[in-house]
């Protein structure tokens, strides 16, 4: 890309040309009014940092703490908002200072973030989320706890100065092999997703923060990750309406509204969505282009009653790169399709390219200033509502308030995880306090939404059992066999990659779906080591006791052991030689019985973690420690009890 904005003083303008030195024109302000970029936080001198360290967000410079010069220029020239990624939010104090600085530059700026809990977190990206995530909440039969969880998360967002949550995820996971949604969704049925999603949204809004339901019309039936390719859901429209659209329709028109649009939408029931994010998913029954750049998808969403902003998933994701040829062209097509806010990743060149492409589209007559201003008006109406909601909730931005909110979120998150993380399958033989387990991560696909293959389970096990051996080895070079090099995405903006915003690292058309974890040689080494103990293949698993046969217990971590997959093949290989193994499953809870019960002998004991967040991992460790008779009240071998919170 060319023409990347500089990070110099604000007097030079965002492109180093003095563009805004005399004030933005109507067109410039209108173009900025549809852009929602990510950014690298700046150091004290206003220069953009490259490593995202907390030390680069110190003090308040002429543009405010951590705000690069180009972004300050754009904010003064009508920029709609920004998206936080993990490197912007290393701790709550830094986040508060950055939010204060941005709002001081532009009080109407919308600060948005992907903070779903569980597998996708920005505010707790390093430590892992205190909130177990949507799949964990979906295990509970009632939605009261989802309301409480949303309220607790909303308080943290409000206290750190964040205006808009890019959530909840309203996708219905109808495809078990879905590579990008999975445990980020509340469930596999429209009713479950709608019930928990609406309750969660109401909780967030009650704390004074806005919500954006995603990914319309639905990302739950896909087998391709839109961060790296274009998913296609080739099903009749009536199927899409009955399955994928239901959570959105119910969230937009709560019961009692009879589906009738209400012009006074922002006074509606708390379950309303403030914004909706469109997916880079092609639904041929809806239109010929992916929903994010398809006018028919916009019309469908408006017909459901949504008249607030429509936000695209990140335009630099792989699903659009090959189709549109450039981020700039994707930006123009998204506006032509009816989008109001265009999400962009961390690279400032993405903002530059989109900005110039939109200006050229206006100059050529392809777009009009009035069309851009129409979108800007929707965003400004939302800002007014959010400021009023925040005041009504009594929300206060500050370090002390943020620390208090984080502590409260940690408590409720631990309680939820303790209630929903449970054991299925065979009887779980607890790990002794002095055990030195081998821990093998069988997950093979990078989780682009979380930005990495999360290691919170390994970290929690290693903390509980310091002698644990991890395969593949961790980032510090701990034990491993045949460890493959980490995927480059693990070291780039990828910690904050995710769902559009969700993907700030820029997974372009050249990105590939890379398999991670142990390579075949490493797995063969481990299997050879296990089999040399001469365990008979017909060992009676029901009466098996851990003893001299194996020198150490074996824990394997799974996510998608779908029959026919590489992960499944490796699980079967290990199960054949280690019938004492136990599983910590971080993927969807629903298919567990089918996936593991089909293994010979009835399958292993499976700790169903419902995700990979820190809270999930801590609860999973407790299950590995406890005899099955000591499971928490309300949860047994089959799952959670009535809301299960003690």
CA distance 74 to 211: 24
Are 613 and 118 in contact, with CB atoms under 8 Å apart?
A: yes
Residues in contact with 107: Cβ distance below 8 Å, sequence separation at least 6, in sequence order: none
Q: 35-36 and 342-343 as β-strands: parallel, antiparallel, unpaired? A: parallel
Q: What one-character DSSP code corresponds to residue 427?
A: P
Helix (H, G, I), strand (E, B) or coil at 104: helix
* Whole-Å CA distances, 162 to 38, 181, 316: 14, 24, 23
The CA-CA-CA angle for residues 60, 64, 70, to 5°, reads 140
Three-class DSSP labels, 249-271: HHHHCCCCCCCCCCCCHHHCCCC
HEC states along 10-67? HHHCCCCCCCCCCCCCHHHHHHHCCEECCCCCECCCCCECCCCCHHHCCCCCCCCCCC
* Angle, vertex CA 91, rays to CA 147 and CA 585, nearest 5: 55
Catalytic residue chosen out of the listed positions 215, 227, 448, 585: 227
Q: Give me the sign of the Cα torsion angle 309, 314, 320, 326.
A: positive
* DSSP 8-state symbol, 77: T
Q: Is 63 a catalytic residue?
A: no
CA distance 210 to 523: 47
Nearest to 473 by CA among 484, 465, 461, 464: 484
270 closest CA partner among 108, 157, 391, 150 = 150
Cα atoms in the Cβ-side hemisphere of radius 13 Å centred on 478? 17
Nearest to 53 by CA among 90, 83, 92, 85: 90
Structure tokens at 621: 């460790």
**Residue 215 a catalytic site member:** no
Outline where 491-636 has alpha helix (H).
520-531, 566-577, 592-597, 614-625
Instruction: Catalytic residue, from 313, 499, 503, 580: name it.
Output: 313
CA distance 224 to 234: 13
H or E element that contains 440: strand 438-441
Rounded-to-integer distance, Cα 69 and Cα 49, Å: 12
Cα separation, 562 vs 175, whole angstroms: 11
Name the 3-class secondary structure at 312: strand
Half-sphere exposure of residue 537: CA atoms within 13 angstroms, side-chain side:
4
Rounded Cα gap, residues 169 and 265, in angstroms = 21
Size of the chain, expressed as the number of residues it contains: 646
**CA distance readout (Å), 192 to 172, 390, 641:** 9, 29, 16
Residue 457 corresponds to which tokens in the numbers above? Answer: 């389970």
- Nearest 5°: phi and psi at 150? -60, -40
What is the Cα gyration radius of the chain? 24
Output the CA–CA distances (angstroms, integers) from residue 371 to 7, 24, 374, 375, 458, in the order listed: 30, 18, 5, 7, 50
> Catalytic site residues?
227, 313
């Amino acid at each position: 890309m060319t023409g990347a904005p500089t990070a110099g003083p604000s007097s030079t303008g965002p492109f180093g040309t003095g563009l805004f030195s005399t004030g933005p024109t109507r067109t410039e302000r209108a173009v900025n009014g549809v852009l929602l970029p990510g950014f690298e936080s700046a150091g004290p001198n206003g220069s953009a940092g490259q490593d995202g360290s907390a030390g680069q967000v110190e003090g308040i410079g002429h543009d405010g703490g951590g705000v690069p010069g180009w972004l300050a220029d754009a904010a003064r020239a009508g920029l709609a908002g920004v998206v936080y990624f993990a490197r912007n939010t290393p701790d709550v104090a830094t986040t508060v200072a950055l939010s204060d600085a941005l709002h001081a530059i532009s009080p109407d700026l919308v600060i948005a973030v992907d903070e779903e809990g569980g597998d996708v977190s920005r505010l707790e990206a390093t430590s892992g989320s205190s909130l177990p995530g949507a799949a964990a909440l979906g295990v509970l039969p009632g939605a009261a706890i989802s309301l409480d969880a949303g309220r607790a998360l909303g308080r943290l967002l409000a206290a750190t100065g964040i205006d808009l949550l890019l959530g909840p995820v309203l996708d219905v996971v109808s495809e078990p092999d879905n590579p990008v949604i999975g445990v980020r969704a509340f469930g596999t049925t429209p009713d479950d997703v709608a019930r928990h999603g609406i309750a969660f949204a109401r909780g967030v809004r009650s704390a004074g923060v806005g919500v954006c339901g995603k990914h319309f019309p639905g990302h739950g039936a896909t087998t391709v990750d839109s961060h790296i390719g274009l998913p296609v859901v080739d099903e009749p429209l009536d199927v899409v309406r009955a399955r994928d659209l239901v959570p959105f329709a119910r969230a937009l028109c709560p019961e009692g509204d009879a589906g009738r649009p209400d012009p006074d939408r922002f006074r509606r029931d708390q379950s309303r969505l403030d914004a909706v994010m469109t997916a880079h998913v092609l639904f041929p029954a809806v239109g010929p282009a992916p929903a994010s750049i398809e006018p028919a998808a916009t019309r469908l969403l408006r017909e459901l009653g949504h008249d607030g902003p429509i936000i695209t998933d990140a335009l630099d994701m792989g699903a659009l790169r090959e189709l549109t040829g450039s981020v700039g062209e994707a930006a123009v097509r998204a506006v032509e399709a009816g989008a109001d806010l265009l999400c962009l990743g961390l690279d400032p060149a993405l903002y530059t390219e989109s900005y110039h492409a939109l200006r050229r589209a206006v100059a050529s007559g392809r777009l009009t200033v009035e069309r851009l201003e129409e979108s800007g008006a929707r965003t400004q109406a939302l800002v007014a509502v959010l400021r009023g909601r925040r005041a009504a909730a009594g929300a206060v931005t500050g370090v002390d308030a943020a620390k208090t909110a984080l502590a409260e979120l940690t408590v409720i998150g631990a309680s939820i995880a303790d209630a929903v993380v449970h054991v299925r399958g065979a009887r779980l033989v607890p790990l002794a306090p002095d055990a030195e387990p081998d821990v093998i991560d069988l997950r093979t696909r990078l989780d682009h939404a979380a930005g990495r293959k999360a290691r919170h389970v390994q970290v929690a096990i290693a903390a509980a059992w310091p002698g644990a051996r991890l395969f593949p080895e961790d980032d510090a070079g701990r034990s491993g066999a045949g460890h493959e090099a980490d995927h480059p995405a693990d070291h780039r903006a990828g910690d904050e990659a995710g769902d559009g915003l969700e993907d700030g690292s820029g997974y372009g058309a050249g990105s590939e779906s890379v398999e991670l974890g142990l390579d075949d040689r490493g797995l063969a080494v481990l299997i050879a080591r296990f089999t040399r103990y001469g365990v008979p293949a017909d060992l009676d698993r029901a009466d098996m006791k851990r003893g001299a046969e194996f020198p150490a217990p074996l824990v394997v971590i799974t996510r998608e052991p779908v029959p026919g997959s590489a992960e499944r093949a490796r699980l079967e290989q290990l199960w054949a030689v280690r019938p004492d193994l136990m599983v910590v499953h971080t993927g969807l809870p629903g298919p567990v019985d089918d996936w593991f019960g089909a293994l010979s002998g009835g399958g292993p004991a499976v700790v169903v973690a419902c995700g990979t967040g820190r809270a999930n991992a801590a609860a999973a460790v407790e299950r590995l420690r406890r005899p099955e008779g000591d499971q928490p009240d309300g949860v047994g071998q089959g799952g959670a009890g009535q809301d299960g919170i003690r």
